[in-house]
Chain A
Amino acid sequence: MSKETTIDLACENICKHFSDFTAVDNISFTIPKGSFFSILGPSGCGKTTLLRMLAGFEQPSSGDLLIKQQSMLDVPPNKRPVNMVFQHLALFPTMNIEENIGYGLRRQSVPKSEIAERVAAVLERVGLAGSGKKRVEQLSGGQRQRIALARCLVLNPTLLLLDEPLGALDLKLREQMKIELKLLQKEFGTTFVYITHDQSEALVMSDQIAVMNKGKFEQVGTPHQLYYQPETAFVAGFVGDSNRWQGTVESIASSTVLVNTNDGLSFKAKVMGDKAISAGNSVEIFVRPEAINVSRTVPSEETDNQLVCQVETILFDGAKSQIIAVEKESGGKITVTLPQTSDFANLQNYDTIYLNWSAEQTLCFLDNAESNGGV
């Protein structure tokens, strides 16, 4: 009972079909009160349609949508306890900041003096006290973000929807706004539903992330789970960077498989996902660049997977610098993180490096094409 009351949003078997395709395909999930929930997916995966159904701008073809146990299907957008921060913010250019923030309160016929108080209070909370009389175009991009948030938060919505609001900002500001958004969400305690195609935004800010692809949720979990225990090849490939190989299963020993990749390498890997894998299956395997140990001398210990490579290029990017290396015999390429130790300070092209990593960090999924073919 007590657990139920803390659920702010529940979607039950939501579908949305357009005339020629299915944008949202039978999705169910719940969002607990006060959490930051992100929906992460590539463009065209249906995340915007899903968000617009929550706001009331699209009608689900089937399924139900409950906010605090109340079905929202027949509630028009202007009556839902849900507010939205639009992709391009949609701050009314014909109104000043104060009028923008007060717009929703005026709709609720809140007395004028109270509107003024609440607007001033929310402006202060987002750190823009005193800018109520300014015009929208006088504010910087980051300030506009905060006004768009304030305009919604002043109404104390049950749910705040955010439609990739950081997309239009430049990189520096985006990094800064990520942190700010997270802090504001904590402070207000409002439930946020955030959609984005940028995995870094989702990973940094969210309590829970749903990875969406082709109208379905591939996996719902904490950022940590998605990153380290992806359940599908799509999640493994979409969240974070990975080395990725196609290959065929040579043999199986409990949860570890031996895979021969198409470019002639051979790895021990851990079976992921819920589909049974047998010898001869074609699979995809993923290894994160930072999971690979690099050394310039032959390592003393034996590990599950080892390669001797030649440095082809060094991609210098400060702490995120990477090495692209070539396996000598097969010519297969692999990306690894450049260790920031003095050993590697004078690393040159054509130097030999020794790579090793465990089977635990080599994730093996049944090939997408094959698993799709079975459906």
Chain B
Amino acid sequence: MSSLRTTSTFKLGMWLLLAPLCLWLVLLIILPHLELLVFSFTDPEKDSFTFGFYQEFFLEPLYWRTFVRTAVMSIMATILTLLIAFPVAFYIAKMLKGRSKGIVFAMCLIPFWVSELVRTFGWMILLRESGVISNFLQWSGLSDGPVELLYTDATIMLGLVYTSMLFMVVPLVSTLDSLDDSYIEAGYDLGGTNWNVLREIVIPHAVPGIVSGCIIVFMLSLGNYLTPVLLGGKDSLWFTEQIYTQFITRFNWEQGSAFGLLLLLLSSLIVWAGLKISGQSFAKTMG
């Protein structure tokens, strides 16, 4: 390229392209998060350094319990989503061919183009006391009175799994698609059964897809706000809700910043651990 263009205009072009990228990253991503960091260590009254807001987090059981609960439930939701999505992704990638494959895959994707709010609303109509499932149970005689299915941990889990499904199915389908049928056939040809072909050939091949699916689903669950609040009700105890409360309701920005950074730390740690265990790189997994 440099043989075709003079070096100086080439350099100029690079700087011109570099400028918007840097403005975006510095002004909207890096500085705001540094600001959070500064906030979380600043005592607003004395304008001095303090550990107080982190101390508060560890001393108040409600805070750290919510934190742990959010992490554990997010991990569970991730595992559950993987288990549910894998057979579906396998079917789409390996059992279907041509047109029917495209249609079934699109059927998987289209629900997720609809707003999360609408999907959650749908679950509320299904699950609430006066909802569809409760009515069905009474009508079929399986239950004597209205059943409230909302506002439990299981409901939150259901909502999280539902909402993240796409982000698991898509990476799984694309890695499984890249597994040539002949590998599976070779596995059987050499005497393998369903189970060990799955375990020794299919799953090892699908690791990159599994890892990127899990990371995205985990991040989405951890950072979710709508689903726990709407499906879990008042007792949902989700950590993002705590952050919102500190910032918007209590106007305690310092405490909120500390919470936010703790959440970021947790998610980075788990993503890092996930990548380390599976030997994948961040750029490859995300890109």
Contacts and interface: CB of A to CB of B under 8 A. Distances in A.
Interface of A: 55-57, 76-79, 82-84, 86-88, 90, 92-95, 103-104, 107-108, 151-152, 155
B182 interface: yes
A78 B190 CA distance: 6
A103 B182 contact: no
Interface string B181-217: 0110111111111001000110011000000000000
A106 B4 CA distance: 59
B186 A78 contact: no
Q: Lowest 4 A-B CB distances belong to which pairs?
A: A104-B190, A107-B191, A94-B204, A90-B186
A74 B192 CA distance: 17
A57 B191 contact: no
Given A90-B180, A90-B182, A90-B183, A78 B189 contact: yes
Given A88-B182, A90-B180, A94-B205, A103 B189 contact: no
A50 to B, nearest CB: 16
Given A92-B201, A94-B201, A107-B196, A155 B182 contact: no
Contacts of A103: 187, 190, 192, 200
Contacts of B205: 93-94
Given A103-B200, A107-B196, A92 B183 contact: yes
A261 B192 CA distance: 59
Contact of B185 (A86, A95, A107): A86
Given A55-B185, A107-B196, A151-B190, 18 more contacts: A76-B188, A78-B188, A78-B189, A78-B190, A83-B189, A83-B190, A86-B182, A90-B182, A90-B183, A92-B183, A92-B187, A93-B205, A94-B205, A95-B204, A103-B187, A103-B200, A107-B190, A155-B190
A55 to B, nearest CB: 6
A104 B191 contact: yes
Interface string B169-182: 00000000000101
- Interface class of chain B by DSSP: helix
Most buried by B among A94, A104, A151: A94
Given A104-B191, A107-B190, A152-B190, A77 B185 contact: yes
Contact of A78 (B193, B200, B204): B193
5 contacts: A78-B191, A78-B192, A95-B200, A104-B191, A107-B192
B193 A92 contact: no
A79 B193 CA distance: 9
Contacts of A83: 189-190
A180 to B, nearest CB: 21
A66 B183 CA distance: 26
Contacts of B190: 78, 83, 103-104, 107, 151-152, 155
Contacts of A56: 188-189
Contact of A84 (B186, B193, B201, B204): B186
A154 to B, nearest CB: 9
B203 to A, nearest CB: 9
B179 to A, nearest CB: 10
A84 B181 CA distance: 14
Contacts of A76: 188
A274 B192 CA distance: 47
A57 B185 CA distance: 8
A88 B196 contact: no
A80 to B, nearest CB: 8
A103 B187 CA distance: 8
A119 B200 CA distance: 18
B201 to A, nearest CB: 6
Contacts of B204: 92, 94-95
Contacts of B186: 84, 86, 90, 92
Contacts of B196: 107
B188 A77 contact: yes
A56 B192 CA distance: 13
Contacts of B185: 55, 57, 77, 84, 86, 90
A77 B189 contact: yes
A57 B182 CA distance: 10
A78 B193 CA distance: 7
Contacts of A88: 180, 182
Contacts of B200: 92, 95, 103
Point out which of B183, B191, B204, B205 has the most chain A C-beta atoms below 10 A from its C-beta.
B191
A199 to B, nearest CB: 25
A152 B187 CA distance: 11
Most chain A CB neighbours (cut-off 10 Å) among B182, B186, B190, B193: B190
Contacts of B193: 78, 107
A84 B183 contact: no
Interface centre among A56, A78, A104, A108 (most CB of B within 10 A): A78
Contacts of B183: 90, 92
Contact of B189 (A84, A94, A95): A84
A197 to B, nearest CB: 18
Query: Which of B188, B193, B201, B204 has the most chain A CB atoms inside 10 A of its CB?
Result: B188
A94 B205 CA distance: 7
A83 B191 CA distance: 9
B255 to A, nearest CB: 48
Contacts of A82: 189
Nearest to B191: A107
Interface in B37-63: none
A148 to B, nearest CB: 9
A171 to B, nearest CB: 24
B189 A55 contact: yes
Nearest to B193: A78
A259 B188 CA distance: 55
Which of B182, B186, B187, B193 has most chain A Cβ within 10 Å? B186
Contacts of B192: 78, 103, 107
A92 B180 CA distance: 10
A77 B181 CA distance: 14
B189 to A, nearest CB: 5
Nearest to B190: A104
Nearest to A102: B190
